[in-house]
Structure 1
Amino acid sequence: MSADATRRRFTQALLASSLAIAVGKVAAQGAVRKPITESGAVADGKTVNTAAIQATIDQLAAQGGGTVVVPAGRFVSGALFLKPRVHLHFEPGAVLECSTDMRNFPGRRTRIEGHFEDNFTPALINAKGCDGLRITGEGTLDGAGRPVWDRFWQLRNAAKDPHNFPNLGLPRARLALLEESRDVLVEGVTFKDAQFWNLHIYNCQDVTVRKARFLVPDDYPQAPSTDGIDLDSCQRVTVEGCYFSVTDDCIAAKGSKGPLALEDRSSPPVEHIRVRNCVFKRGHSVLTLGSEATIVRDVLIEDCEVGDVRVAHLKLRSDTPQHYEGIHYRNIKLAGKSASIVDIIPWSQYTNLLGSKPPQSTVRNISFTGFSGTAGTLGNIAPNPGQTTISDILLKDFDVRLGDGELHATGVGNLRLENVTVNGKPYTA
């Protein structure tokens, strides 16, 4: 055996050994389980248990790691901060409820809407730099959002310009904010009635969200900003087997915004996203690019069921240079009445050029393949005039029934329709 081959084998063996040791350490850390009740948490639905639950987290972290266990019952809490090697598990019937008293969420520097706010409401669950994090179980994160939503609409409706009333105009908590972490798993947990976004994932890599549920009550017409999952500047994320019934974006790809967005080093591209075997019952769209987004590429959404939810919403901001490429949808079953399948259109809310000239944007290589069922319309494709280049859009293998059977498209290069049947008849643009 040559010296090079020997070195390669040695290196491979060393890497395998190191991985085995690392896995063993993670397993050992996770094996230490501590119920929050041992630190005094009370499941009465009214006691604010922030101190007791945080004490459980801190004790496990001091011991080298472990799993915080939320047992059956309703535990109210303010902002909690997970630490490296500390995981969170919900037993069946466990509910961790978000306090609606914002004094339990003291302001701190946090990522929100494509930038950092120095004094903004943290999430109920906060985790930063927690590689290998596991949030699992059959329990529920409950945002107790209804009174907060009511207050938001009161303030917005009373504003001078309700359309531009800022989402940050009312302090309210997200359910979970995971930041700057690798190898993360969120599995089995129900996210419901979020005051703001449900699951905000920022600058993370190698994340899996599996068999989670994101819910807003069917009787509440529009709970503001209740996005299911916000993929903010993340890479290599898989969302599988999840259920969405919300009143904002089910999944949103986010980054930065404004004319200098491409210079923002805190907002790397959203890349290598896989969404599969999910059910989208209610929401603004299956996947929205924006409201804050710069570069989004290599996204595949497949084998999903979609109710009265727009499938694709690519927001084109006139104040932000955007590059959307390699976004693909395939094998989608539709069961809606009014929503469109694709909207690649200008979006002007909160636009601010900051005195700069309008930037250029590109949308290309977007495909929709294997669609069946019912929806409202094929949709709309249009650029910001003079700013957006849209090309290489493919609709293929459609057999759909629509209220409006037209695709309203302008300013698109290489728009292709192949084997598209609408309302029982072949359709060509």
Structure 2
Amino acid sequence: MKTKVLDFFRLTCLVLVIFPVSIQSCKPEHKEKKSVPEVADPADAIIKNIRVPEFPDTDFNITDFGAIGDGTTLNTDAFKKAIAACNEAGGGKVIVPSGKFLTGPIHLKSNVNLHTLSGAVILFSKNPEDYLPVVHTSYEGVELMNYSPLIYAYGQENIAVTGKGVFDGQAGKTNWWPWCGSERYGYQEGQPHQRDDKNLPRLRKMNKEGTPVSERIFGKGHQLRPTFFEPFECKNVLVQGVTFTNAPFWVMHPIKSEHVTVDGVTVSSHGPNNDGCDPEYSKNVHIKNCIFDTGDDCIAIKSGRNEDGRRVNIPSENIVVEDCEMKDGHGGVVMGSEISAGVRNVYVRNCVMDSPNLDRAIRIKTNTLRGGFVENVFVENIKVGQVKEATLKINTHYAIYDAQEGNYIPEIRNIYLKNITVENSGKYGVLIRGRKEAKVEKIILENVTITRADSVMSVKDSEPVKFLNVTINGEKMKEE
């Protein structure tokens, strides 16, 4: 019976993925009980529906447009000309050959595949002024006009970044990173940083007051770092095979985008807020075969911060993460904390998470200023070596610098972990902090073995966690 209940749960989610209609409108013709059928994996249905871009077999080598791979010549114009020519010709590959190519921001256009050959290293300028004029972008879940992302596409279709090359943001303790305000990353007392009144407090105020995005102008004279790769309102996006390192801020940030595939990418970047991949307001996303070794969350699914998230009101949904390796980071797969428009239908399977510097495996974080919802999260066939705090952490009281309490009660439901093995879960096996006003609902663990945890679990303001064949610290958990 328990298996049938879980199969029905998965079948319902599959129906909602393919046919997003209210199930309340479907009334049975009679009350005869029928066996639950074998269901297709909803994750496979999502993957099948994702459109991966294809490109004409036409090449545009950046060296034919004046690029010089000596590591010192600035090649921004050569990249721009090659991409424009490729786009105007109907599409193809912009080829980056072996060499070290210094450049400012790269702006992709429709039907262009920026393809890097083995030995290609793209070095991004350390000069913030090279990332002007400002463009429509986002910072921690709030839209604004700011420095251009290092690789940027706005409103484009069929774009890609592929190959065997390395994209080096060249961020470090002498540029970009000190703006976070931490001595660990090179900040020195008296330097401007992101928490100065002219920076994040000003942006937060604009968010709260509903200032039009076109009037939220930052960039020069401000200290809000750009993302590395950001497709903004794009469709059919592919990132494949490449390596990202030394990012100023978040690494891959598809925002308001659909049909995104991230395949075989390596993120090795340990700067402040160096999240690996942050889909935001995005739908139909497939992240596979990747390695994440990061200074923050490996993968963090987001949907806007506070008023901005409620204004945009686009949930992130239909996201599949599979066959990935998570090393250092604050969390393996995370939902939040910028989550005000909600997240649903997330599938994580066949991943390995293991590092003494990985804090949690699966994490959901929000508060009553962010609000939002998280529902229908399925985590299956995961091998966890060690994490610091918990295999599963759900926190609706999340805050960093100060208390963040408001009137938007988060809703979290339908979180299902199956076939998980954990050697060392750190402080807790399961850690949940819900709200009395809206308890966390329907948390199910099935076929989970946690060999070691300092404490089995700590759960407050949640429905009882349902255990099905779960062992923690050698003790079989009671099934209800």
TM-score by structure 1 length?
0.85
Using the alignment, how far apart are the partners of 1:405 and 1:350 within structure 2?
Answer: 27
Q: CA deviation at 1:128?
A: 2.0
Other-structure match for 1:82 = 108
| Aligned partner of 1:248 among 286, 290, 296 | 296
Quick check: 1:298 aligned with 2:348?
no
Q: Partner of 2:30 in structure 1?
A: none
Comparing both structures, which one devotes a greater share of its residues to strand?
1
1:214 aligns with 2:267: yes
C-alpha distance in 1 between matches for 2:309 and 2:91: 38
Give the whole-Å Cα distance in 1 for the aligned partners of 2:71 and 2:228.
17
- Structure 1 residue 352: Cα displacement: 8.5
Give the deviation of 1:209 after TM superposition.
0.7
Paired with 1:135 and 1:303, the residues of 2 have a C-alpha distance of: 25
Task: Return the letter of the residue paired with 1:275.
Answer: V
Tell me, in whole angstroms, the C-alpha distance in 2 between the residues paired with 1:108 and 1:130: 15
Distance in 1 between residues matched to 2:190 and 2:393, nearest whole Å: 29
1:374–1:401 contact (8 Å) kept in structure 2: yes
Q: Is 1:151–2:178 an aligned residue pair?
A: yes
Which amino acid in 1 is paired with 2:110?
Answer: P
Q: Which residue of 2 aligns with 1:69?
A: 95
8 A Cα contact 2:71 2:101, kept in partner: yes
Equivalent position of 1:382 in the other structure: 433
TM-score normalised over the length of structure 2:
0.76
Change beyond 3 A, Cα 1:421–1:352? closer
| Distance change >3 Å, CA 116–CA 357, structure 1 → 2 | closer
Give the conservation status (yes or no) of the 8 Å contact 1:405–1:422: no
The one-letter code of the counterpart of 1:228 is G
The Cα offsets for residues 188-208 of structure 1, whole Å up to 9 and x where unpaired, read as 111111111111101111111
Contact 2:251 2:277 in 1 (8 A): yes
1:294-318 per-residue CA deviation (whole Å, 9 max, x = no partner) reads 2100001011000133111211222
Matched residue of 1:360: which SS? coil
Find the residue that maps to 1:389 and give its secondary structure: coil
Shift of 1:62: 2.5
1:115-264 equivalence runs, <5 A: 115-118=142-145, 120-147=146-173, 148=175, 151-152=178-179, 153-154=182-183, 158=189, 170-216=223-269, 223-258=271-306, 260=307, 263-264=310-311
Tell me the number of residue pairs that the alignment of Structure 1 and Structure 2 aligns. Answer: 393
* Structure 2 equivalent of residue 348 of structure 1: 399
Query: Per the alignment, in what secondary structure is the counterpart of residue 30 of structure 1?
Result: coil
> Measured at CA, do residues 390 and 111 of structure 1 come closer, stay the same or move farther in structure 2, by a change above 3 Å?
same
Residue of structure 2 aligned with 1:277, choices 300, 323, 327: 323
Secondary structure at 2:338's aligned position in 1?
coil
**CA, structure 1 residues 113+404, in 2 after alignment: closer, same or farther (shift >3 Å)?**
same
1:316 matched to 2:373: no
On the 8 A contact 2:368/2:406 being kept in 1, the answer is: no
Give the fraction of aligned pairs with identical amino acids, expressed as a percent. 28
Distance in 1 (alpha carbons) for counterparts of 2:416 and 2:460: 17
Match of residue 333, structure 1, among 374, 383, 392: 383
**1:57-106: per-residue Cα shift (whole Å, max 9, x none)?**
11222222221111011111111211112221010111111111111101
Write the distance in 2 (CA, Å) between the matches of 1:382 and 1:159.
Answer: 38
What residue identity is the alignment partner of 1:172? R
CA deviation map 1:188-234 (0-9, x unaligned): 11111111111110111111111111102xxxxx5201010010100
In structure 2, what is the equivalent of residue 361 of structure 1? 410
Matches of 1:373 and 1:381, distance apart in 2: 18
The aligned counterpart of 2:57 is 31
Residue 47 in structure 1 maps to residue 47 in structure 2: no
Structure 2 letter corresponding to 1:379: V
Other structure's SS at 1:264 match: helix
For residues 408 and 158 of structure 1, do their structure 2 counterparts lie closer, same or farther at Cα, with a shift above 3 Å needed? farther
Is the 2:289–2:322 contact (alpha carbons within 8 Å) kept by the matching residues of 1? yes
Separation of aligned partners in 1, 2:314 and 2:152: 21
Q: 1:100 aligns with which of 110, 116, 126?
A: 126
Q: Secondary structure at the match of 1:348?
A: coil
**Letter of the structure 2 residue corresponding to residue 284 of structure 1:** H
